[in-house]
């Protein structure tokens, strides 16, 4: 018989949950990012990777951060002809993006090389893309009793090194069902992850994609964040959008808060300059945050001019 060990909670030291990207990606935990094929999951993750390798601010997050190392494993895209060009296009510091060599031996979630790589590189983010490619040959993704130990081991590694681990996955075709049950495989994937993000596109605006927070166990759910992706203009973050996960999956059209702020400002200044204090009050009444308003001001090339003791905005 094994020796019984009891943990007394009085002896457990409380600690605050830290985030790589608040509240979307917690450090030391598992995060799942899923969506239908072709919706821009990998592109969005590589854009986030680029910002993290340069220590730049993430969307809707003013946190100051140092550049970090990122381990990125993909079973779907070539490193030389797809991943590297995407990283370069995103402006990443490619010297901080590291890959475990799978040329002679494929990688799986229970592979000891994952922990070794985190330990040797000090990486604060590991990305496995897609989930099903890294389960291992003998693991059935539909069986909870096989998924739980694999996810538990991966979660333990994340916690041990205070490293965020992102699992990218496709969704099944159960149209209209709850998002929790649309992830491929056992529901234990979503149950084990502390954060689940859904990536989808707006039905009537196919170049507009959205990252929506479907599950957040460690913080309040974050706002949905839009990004634009098209062949002509490439990738661009659009800011907060008022849309739920269910609306996103059903294809309902919504307007981003930045777009709404730009429309408000263009209309408000159409007949000439206005005092900034008046603009702030009107924007607040319309539910537009000041930070979003200033972003709209910059994108519309609105100028600020001081007359007497007042500031005026105008075109």
Distance from C-alpha of 195 to C-alpha of 193, rounded to nearest angstrom: 5
- pLDDT at site 102: 95
| CB burial of residue 277 (10 Å; 0-12, 13-18, 19+) | exposed
- HEC profile of 69-111: CEEEEECCCCHHHHHHHHHHHCCCCHHHEECCCCCCCCCCCCC
Distance from C-alpha of 198 to C-alpha of 220, rounded to nearest angstrom: 16
Contact between residue 48 and residue 40 where contact means Cβ atoms under 8 Å apart: no
- pLDDT at site 224: 94
Distance from C-alpha of 39 to C-alpha of 226, rounded to nearest angstrom: 12
Contact between residue 138 and residue 150 where contact means Cβ atoms under 8 Å apart: no
Distance from C-alpha of 264 to C-alpha of 289, rounded to nearest angstrom: 12
**Regions in the chain scoring below 70 on pLDDT:** 1, 172-186, 251-255
pLDDT one-digit tens code per residue, 138-151: 888 778 788 888 89
| Cα 86 from chain centre | 17
Report yes or no on whether pTM surpasses 0.95.
no
Sheet holding 195-202, edge to edge: 97-98, 70-74, 125-129, 164-170, 30-35, 195-202, 205-216, 224-230, 234-241
- pLDDT at site 252: 60
- Tokens matching residue 289: 């945050």
- pLDDT at site 127: 98
pLDDT one-digit tens code per residue, 251-265: 665 667 778 888 899
- pLDDT at site 80: 95
């Amino acid at each position: 018989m094994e020796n019984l060990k009891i943990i007394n909670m009085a002896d457990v030291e409380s600690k605050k949950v830290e985030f790589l990207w608040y509240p979307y990606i917690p450090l030391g935990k598992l995060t799942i990012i899923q969506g239908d094929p072709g919706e821009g999951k990998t592109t969005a993750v590589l854009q986030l990777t680029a910002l993290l390798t340069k220590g730049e601010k993430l969307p809707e997050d003013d946190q100051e951060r140092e550049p970090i190392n990122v381990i990125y494993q993909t079973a779907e895209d070539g490193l030389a002809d797809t991943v590297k060009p995407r990283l370069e296009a995103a402006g990443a510091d490619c010297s901080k993006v590291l890959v475990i060599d799978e040329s002679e031996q494929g990688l799986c979630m229970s592979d000891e090389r994952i922990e070794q790589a985190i330990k040797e590189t000090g990486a604060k983010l590991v990305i496995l893309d897609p989930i099903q490619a890294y389960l291992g040959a003998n693991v059935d993704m539909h069986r909870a009793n096989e998924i739980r130990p694999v996810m538990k081991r991966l979660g333990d590694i994340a916690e041990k090194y205070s490293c965020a681990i992102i699992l990218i996955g496709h969704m099944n075709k159960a149209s209209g069902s709850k998002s929790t049950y649309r992830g491929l495989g056992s529901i234990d994937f979503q149950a084990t992850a502390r954060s689940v993000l859904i990536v989808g596109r707006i039905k009537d605006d196919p170049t507009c994609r959205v990252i929506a927070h479907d599950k957040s166990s460690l913080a309040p759910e974050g706002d949905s964040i839009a990004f634009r992706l098209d062949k002509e203009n490439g990738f661009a973050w659009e800011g907060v959008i008022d849309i739920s996960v269910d609306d996103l999956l059903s294809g309902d059209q919504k307007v981003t808060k930045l777009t709404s702020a730009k429309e408000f400002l263009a209309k408000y200044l159409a007949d000439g300059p206005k005092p900034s204090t008046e603009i702030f009050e009107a924007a607040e009444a319309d539910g537009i945050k000041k930070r979003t308003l200033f972003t709209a001001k910059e994108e519309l090339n609105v100028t600020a001019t001081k007359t007497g003791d007042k500031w005026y905005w105008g075109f």
